[in-house]
Structure 1
Amino acid sequence: MLDVLIGLITLYLVYGLACTAIVEAVAAKLSWRGKQLRNALDELLAGQLEADGNAADAFFMHPLIQSLSKGQNSLPSYISAPAFARTVRALLDPTGTAQSLQTLIDQLPGSDDSNRIKGLLRALAMDTQNDAVAFGKALESQFDLVMERATGWFKKNTQTLSLVAAAALVLATNFDTIAVVNRLTLDEQARAVLIKAAEQQLSANPPANDATAQPATNTGTAQNLAAQPAAQPLEGKELQLIIDLGQTLGLGWRSSDKSKKQPEKSDNWQTHLSKLVGLAISILAVSLGAPFWFDMLQRVMQLRSSIKPKAEEQKKPASS
């Protein structure tokens, strides 16, 4: 039964790899990360640093930020918290006069109430007692908080797209979870093929801190939005693996065998219901993405490796 579970998880992982690649490619094509980042920073940097300029526009036009973009008119998909703090400090003191924070903030246009960014910077300066180093850390923390919310927006978009991509993959290949479980239960050779595929996936992708599964902890939650892997192209090997495993399990849509006796009407609705449920389970499972199933596969394979030696030892006395 454990081998059946491993086989099923392996299929979810392989489909999840293709699904994740599709989501990443679409997100990159539509610049979702950059747009969500821009929207979040428009809120954070609302106001003016100069009398005739928007703070957010000045931020994105600064050379430190432009260097993170592919072109002058493109948006960066990732900005680190330290880079944000350095850029804001450079905009606040463009000539590098090293004046006190309060003096620099006082020179900003408007009042703390009318100019939102001015009020924010003054509040951070007061909280850090005008210490430049602590002020920089406070800017990073504020950036992290805003990016945490932006990450939530981004995840909502990608989750919807992931569900659509999973549905397309599952329906195109007729990946019915219930039918696959039945096949694996009866077909020892199919189980062996999937166990081998599972071992290959684990050896090709050694354990690591995957940013799509876990928030980045070494540099703060600000990286959540863009620390996920850059869009990976949907390579032929992923699709070929789906095709190969599909052939092993007999996946795919086929015309019904007319030589077989037609099922009774009572069986028809049961068969259709089973098919719908099986496809729905597959869609939901695949939409969870490759990182989730890779982690699950690691755990189940570790369990299998710990159980298998014990089972072999119990067989020895019985055979002697």
Structure 2
Amino acid sequence: MNIPSLLNVAIGLFLVYLILSLLVSDLQELISAYLFDWRAKNLKSSIESILGAEIARKLYEHPLIRSLKNYKMDRDKGAAGPSYIPDEIFALALIDLLMEAAGIEERIVSLSVEDFREAIASDEVQKLLDKERIELMRSLANKAQIDGDKKPFIKSLESELIGWFKQSMDRASGVFKRRVKGMILVLGFAVAVLLNVDTLNLATRLSLEPVLREQVSQNVDFVLSENALSKYLDCLERASLEPKDCQSLVSPNFLNGVEREFFSLPVGWNAANLSYQFGADFSSFKLLRAILGWTLTAIAISMGSSFWFDLLNRLIDVRNTGNKPPAAIDFQSSKSSDSSHS
């Protein structure tokens, strides 16, 4: 098999992995956020670890945080809280909470660094925050004062708190990410079996059938034609947004079209695909081969949709650079034409 054919086989596999990664991500979000409330519980415990239990409790009672209701909270009043807290909402709620605890919340509109220092030095705030966290708030206020010459202090302080919150959440979410990684691997294997996406069978079919490779090339063009796909994938990875908030980034018919293109590939439990996968004489060896193929698919899915999207784009670029530029062809043909006339 030549290099362009191998590239098309790889492109076909990566396209399948990208589509399945999107599907499994949605399933994982449904299970972790709405069935077991894992994301909300992890978020709350992370905030408690960076602020302290008492101030975290008051923060969750703040109107800005309480307004972030979701389906789980509406159904179960004992739910941990929202699954997502936007960065700017967290920063504003924390500033307001500290100013209110100090009894000077009316100054928040024209907040100055002196007002904020007065607030965190008050006895009421020192009952909520330990000495180390108060020093952290003072350091963030100082940095906001230095960096905020061209904008109001409260905006600079908000930016500093947002940056600190993001870094803290990245460090504190390691346990949750490992749990999600394991769940995605299990879900990936279940989806691979349910949809019969056997990597070995799919690679064999793509390598032996030029027509199928051409079809995959068209499928890839359709998927990558969605200009907002990269923004959609970035949105799905942000912990401050609900997955449903990302749907508006892509055209309404795009996800349905992706599903249609996926099932046009050699996947599923239909008779035609099974005849290629297992043949007329079923054997334990072929079953083990299929299990290995499903396992490889599950491992690939666990890499994530953004990984396969980036890799797919790189392969497309490699394939396109292998094509001879039209200008060079025109030049050669014109040169031949001139020599024939001479």
Q: TM-score range by the shorter chain?
A: 0.7 to 0.9
Please give the alpha-carbon distance, in whole angstroms, between the structure 2 residues aligned to 1:151 and 1:126.
24
CA shift in 2, pair 1:178/1:116, >3 Å: same
The structural deviation recorded for 1:191 is 1.0
CA shift in 2, pair 1:247/1:157, >3 Å: closer
Please give the alpha-carbon distance, in whole angstroms, between the structure 1 residues aligned to 2:115 and 2:235.
42
> SS of 2:82's equivalent?
coil
The worse-fitting range, judged by mean Cα deviation, of 206-215 and 4-13 is: 206-215
> SS of 2:105's equivalent?
coil
Matches within 5 A, 1:1-320: 1-30=6-35, 31-46=37-52, 54-70=54-70, 73=77, 75-94=81-100, 95-98=104-107, 100-109=115-124, 116-117=129-130, 119-125=132-138, 128-129=141-142, 133=154, 136-206=158-228, 208-209=230-231, 212=234, 224-227=238-241, 229-230=243-244, 240-246=260-266, 250-252=272-274, 269=285, 271=286, 274-309=289-324
CA shift in 2, pair 1:289/1:137, >3 Å: closer
User: Higher helix proportion, which one?
Assistant: 2
| Count of residue pairs the alignment pairs up | 293
Please give the alpha-carbon distance, in whole angstroms, between the structure 2 residues aligned to 1:229 and 1:178.
32
Across the aligned residues of Structure 1 and Structure 2, the Cα RMSD in angstroms comes to 3.9
The worse-fitting range, judged by mean Cα deviation, of 169-178 and 191-200 is: 169-178
The structural deviation recorded for 1:200 is 0.9
CA shift in 2, pair 1:14/1:106, >3 Å: closer
The percentage of aligned residue pairs carrying the same residue is 24
| Consecutive unaligned residues in structure 1, runs of 5 or more | 48-53, 216-223
Matched to 2:105, the amino acid is G
Q: Is the CA contact 2:48–2:56 (under 8 Å) kept in the aligned structure 1? A: yes
Q: Is the CA contact 1:174–1:252 (under 8 Å) kept in the aligned structure 2? A: no
The worse-fitting range, judged by mean Cα deviation, of 148-157 and 202-211 is: 202-211
TM-score, normalization by structure 2? 0.69
CA shift in 2, pair 1:230/1:35, >3 Å: farther
* Bigger relative CO (Cα 8 Å, ≥ 6 apart): 1
Matched to 2:215, the amino acid is V
The worse-fitting range, judged by mean Cα deviation, of 19-28 and 159-168 is: 19-28
Please give the alpha-carbon distance, in whole angstroms, between the structure 1 residues aligned to 2:294 and 2:233.
29
The structural deviation recorded for 1:59 is 0.7
Please give the alpha-carbon distance, in whole angstroms, between the structure 2 residues aligned to 1:179 and 1:227.
37
Q: Is the CA contact 1:41–1:56 (under 8 Å) kept in the aligned structure 2? A: yes
CA shift in 2, pair 1:3/1:87, >3 Å: same
Q: Is the CA contact 2:87–2:240 (under 8 Å) kept in the aligned structure 1? A: no
Q: Is the CA contact 1:17–1:238 (under 8 Å) kept in the aligned structure 2? A: no
TM-score, normalization by structure 1? 0.74
